[in-house]
């Protein structure tokens, strides 16, 4: 019989890598870690619920991978270096194959960023995964949503819309290319870019609910507005091959799950951007989000992103 402690031992306490700053990991009532000198602790948590955040037929490896990826994306948006995670897992039953694959997906990404799993919880119920991710950032340097300034240029990393299209096609039971399903199931947290942005960007956010919704958070918290040229939005070639330009635009603006970064920088810093990113507009003192075609006409499509309530 595999009891609770055996599950933890067999599937979650097998990490090879151990960090020097972990005094006490899995096995006691709580974990103990040391924060490096002159750094602040950055903490985030995200829950994934079956049929809400992923389809029931998603591979367990991908569920493990994505549960961590979405948390790391939040740390990336703060410019933090990830260090430790805890995992609260609610399972309908104990399924060794599922647990093994889930754990492998989670640990694959954790190993990539030198992250140690230092504790968690295990309960029975509808499949739900909650990860709390911890990271560190040099004192007072974290990227925030409330520091965008009029005149800043607005940038997006990589491309938008692929994950939303993948979800749409899967919901229609269509076969989709693996490169597209990877965008949905194994998003790459932009940790390296976030760290580079620490000394460059004024504000940053990760795009989980669609560009329009997430950029609006920066605008509201920084008390500024933005002018966006929608013809400059980075949309992948692949997206344009599969769907119409109009639909691609809707997906880029309102589709969720891309986990790219949107950041604002003063114009004199653009030569420091040595990674894949695209300027889509600028921050204005006048409030409001204005999306325009290159000819100046306002974009009239929907801007509403995914909302749970
Ligand atoms: P307690 O009853 O004191 O809360 P638990 O029985 O929940 O302790 O957990 C025992 C140990 O295993 C703790 O150190 C806890 O952090 C760890 N743990 C529990 N669930 C997980 C999990 N899913 N992944 C990693 N560690 C876990
Ligand atoms: Mg406890």
Residues 188, 192, 161: CA angle, nearest 5 degrees? 35
Query: Which pLDDT does position 308 carry in this prediction?
Result: 67
Q: What does each C-alpha distance from 198 to 33, 48, 77, 190, 223 come to in angstroms? A: 24, 28, 10, 13, 21
Q: Answer whether 29 contacts ligand 1 (Cβ < 6 A).
A: yes
Query: Which pLDDT does position 256 carry in this prediction?
Result: 85
Q: 250 alpha carbon to ligand 1 midpoint, in Å?
A: 43
Residues 227, 233, 237: CA angle, nearest 5 degrees? 170
The reported pTM is: 0.95
Q: What is the three-state SS of the chain?
A: CCCHHHHHHHHHCCCCCCCCCEEECECECCCEECCCCCEEEEEEEEEEEECCCECCCCCHHHHHHHHHHHHHHHHHHHCCEEEEEEEEEEECCCCHHHHHHHHHHHHHHHHHCCCEEEEEEEEECCCEEEEEEEEEEECCCCCECCCCCCCCEEEEECCECHHHHHHHHHHCCCCCCHHHHHHHHCCCCCHHHHHHHCCCCCEEEEECCCHHHHHHHHHHHHCCEEEEEHHHCCECHHHHHHCCHHHHHHHHHHCCCCCEEEEEECHHHHHHCCCCEEEEEEEECCCEEEEECCCCCECCCCCCCCCCC
The model's pLDDT over 125-184, given as tens digits with 9 standing for 90+, comes to 999 999 999 999 999 999 999 999 999 999 999 999 999 999 999 999 998 999 999 999
Q: Answer whether 9 contacts ligand 1 (Cβ < 6 A).
A: no
Query: Which pLDDT does position 115 carry in this prediction?
Result: 98
Q: Answer whether 64 contacts ligand 1 (Cβ < 6 A).
A: no
Q: What does each C-alpha distance from 137 to 37, 79, 147 come to in angstroms? A: 10, 7, 17
Percent of the chain at pLDDT above 70? 98
Query: Which pLDDT does position 303 carry in this prediction?
Result: 80
Q: Answer whether 87 contacts ligand 1 (Cβ < 6 A).
A: yes
Ligand lying nearest the CA atom of residue 87 = 1
Query: Which pLDDT does position 291 carry in this prediction?
Result: 97
**Ligand 1: which of 119, 123, 128, 129 to mutate, most ligand atoms within 8 Å of CB?**
119
pLDDT band at 307 (very low <50, low <70, confident <90, very high): low
The model's pLDDT over 210-237, given as tens digits with 9 standing for 90+, comes to 999 999 999 999 999 999 999 999 999 9
pLDDT at 2 over 90: no
Q: Answer whether 131 contacts ligand 1 (Cβ < 6 A).
A: no
**Ligand 1: which of 118, 120, 132 to mutate, most ligand atoms within 8 Å of CB?**
120
pLDDT at 305 over 70: no
The model's pLDDT over 73-128, given as tens digits with 9 standing for 90+, comes to 999 999 999 999 999 999 999 999 999 999 999 999 999 999 999 999 999 999 99
């Amino acid at each position: 019989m595999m009891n609770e402690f055996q599950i933890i031992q067999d599937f979650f306490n097998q990490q090879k890598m151990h960090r020097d700053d972990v005094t006490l990991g899995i096995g006691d009532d709580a974990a103990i870690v040391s924060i490096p000198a002159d750094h602040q602790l950055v903490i985030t948590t995200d829950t994934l619920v079956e049929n809400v955040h992923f389809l029931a037929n998603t591979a367990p490896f991908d569920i493990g991978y994505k549960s961590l990826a979405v948390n790391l994306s939040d740390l990336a948006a703060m410019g933090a270096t990830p260090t430790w995670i805890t995992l609260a897992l609610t399972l309908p039953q104990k399924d060794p194959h599922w647990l093994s694959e889930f754990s492998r997906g989670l640990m694959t990404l954790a190993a990539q960023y030198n992250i140690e799993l230092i504790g968690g919880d295990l309960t029975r119920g509808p499949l739900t995964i909650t990860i709390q991710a911890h990271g560190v950032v040099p004192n007072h340097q974290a990227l925030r949503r409330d520091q965008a300034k009029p005149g800043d240029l607005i940038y997006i990393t990589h491309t938008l819309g692929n994950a939303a299209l993948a979800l749409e096609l899967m919901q229609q039971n269509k076969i989709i290319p693996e490169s597209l399903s990877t965008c949905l199931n194994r998003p790459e947290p932009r940790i390296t870019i976030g760290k580079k942005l620490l000394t460059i960007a004024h504000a940053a956010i990760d795009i989980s609910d669609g560009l329009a919704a997430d950029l609006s958070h920066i605008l509201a918290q920084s008390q500024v507005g933005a002018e966006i040229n929608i013809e400059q939005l980075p949309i992948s070639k692949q997206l344009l091959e599969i769907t119409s330009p109009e639909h691609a635009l809707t997906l880029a603006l309102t589709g969720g799950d891309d986990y790219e970064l949107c950041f604002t920088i003063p114009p004199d810093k653009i030569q420091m951007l040595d990674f894949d990113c695209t300027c889509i507009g600028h921050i204005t003192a006048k409030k409001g989000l204005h999306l325009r075609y290159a000819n100046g006409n306002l974009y009239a499509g929907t801007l509403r992103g995914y909302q749970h309530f």
